[in-house]
Structure 1
Amino acid sequence: MPVIGINITRIEFEKKIPPFPGGRIEVNLSPKVKDMRLGEIRTPTGKTQGIEILFKYEITYRPEIAEGFIEGAVMYLPPRREEIDEILDTWESERKVKPEVFTEVVNFITHSVAPMLFVIAKEMGLPYHVPLPRIDVKGHNPGGMV
């Protein structure tokens, strides 16, 4: 896995109005790359260079009952060491991230912050960012077996 760690540096959420019962509430997640730079991490075999990717993961609600964000950094190690300069040069000149790098990084960030988002939503009385599984009773089954 090319992403080897995450460092959360800031979490901010604000509830603007209390959620109202009924009606549809939409939760949007918007991950953004803020910056990329050469990074270094210590491993058991010594120091390893990679790309430190600074991110902002925004969470918005529609209607506007709340908003928030999580900021931090991840360390990305490309499959080939030679790609570090290529990725950083593209970022510096065009402010673009290769789709495969963006996908890998965003999937890692989402997997890492999803539990925090559940706790924050629960504590603030907000809808969850993904629907939880629910069971429904479709008919009466006295034996309880399907």
Structure 2
Amino acid sequence: MPVLGINIRKISIEKIKGPTAQVEVDLTPKIKELRLGEIRTPSGRVNGIEVLFEYTITYKPDVARAFIEGLVFYTPKNKEDTDKILDTWENENKVDPYLFAEVVNAITNEIMPTLMSLSKQLRLPYPIPLPRVNVSAKRE
């Protein structure tokens, strides 16, 4: 797995007013910066990419807003790709699509339980829809 760790630095959620009948929730992940990083593991030091991110959750109409900021430590499958990814970011401010997908999925998996709990406590709609069971009218 290319994501070795996630460090959440800031979580902010604010309820502005009570929800209305129809509320849309928009999740917006954003990569702020990529930089060379290093972590220490029991087997030694590992070089990789530190991905600084922002994750914004907006509600329409404006009933609440949430903001998460943090850092993800990402290690490409090939160590040679580290320099290539960082050079692309430095020269063009573009993120490799595979890196973006891995990072956003890891962040979402990490923060969604917290967001669900906070949404419940603030009596806000959940940021993602919950599965529902439907009973069909047809009986045999």
TM range (shorter): over 0.9
Partner of 2:36: 38
Name the amino acid aligned to 2:31: V
* Paired residue secondary structure (2:54): strand
TM-score by length of 1: 0.90
Name the amino acid aligned to 2:57: I
Name the amino acid aligned to 2:27: L
Distance apart, 1:137 and its partner CA: 4.5
Return 105-114 or 131-140, whichever deviates more: 131-140
- Residues 26-45 of structure 1 deviation map (CA, whole Å, 9 limit, x = unaligned): 10100000111111011121
Distance apart, 1:49 and its partner CA: 0.5
- Over the aligned positions, Cα root-mean-square deviation in angstroms equals 1.5
- Structure 1 unaligned segments of length 5 or more: list them: none
Cα distance in structure 2, aligned partners of 1:53 and 1:82: 17
Partner of 1:15: 15
- Structure 2 unaligned segments of length 5 or more: list them: none
| Residues 1:87 and 2:85 aligned together | yes
Cα distance in structure 2, aligned partners of 1:140 and 1:76: 51
From 131, 134, 137, give the equivalent of 1:133: 131
From 64, 74, 85, give the equivalent of 1:66: 64
* Paired residue secondary structure (1:127): coil
Cα distance in structure 1, aligned partners of 2:70 and 2:17: 27
TM-score by length of 2: 0.94
For the pair shown, which has the larger CA radius of gyration, 1 or 2? Answer: 1
Partner of 2:55: 57
* Paired residue secondary structure (1:126): coil
Distance apart, 1:91 and its partner CA: 0.7
Q: Residues 78, 140 of structure 1: CA spacing in aligned structure 2 closer, same or farther, 3 A cutoff?
A: closer
Cα distance in structure 2, aligned partners of 1:137 and 1:2: 41
Partner of 1:28: 26
Name the amino acid aligned to 1:10: K
- Residues 68-110 of structure 1 deviation map (CA, whole Å, 9 limit, x = unaligned): 1110000000001111111111111111101111011111111
Identity percentage over the alignment?
A: 53
* Paired residue secondary structure (1:79): coil
Name the amino acid aligned to 2:45: K
Partner of 2:95: 97
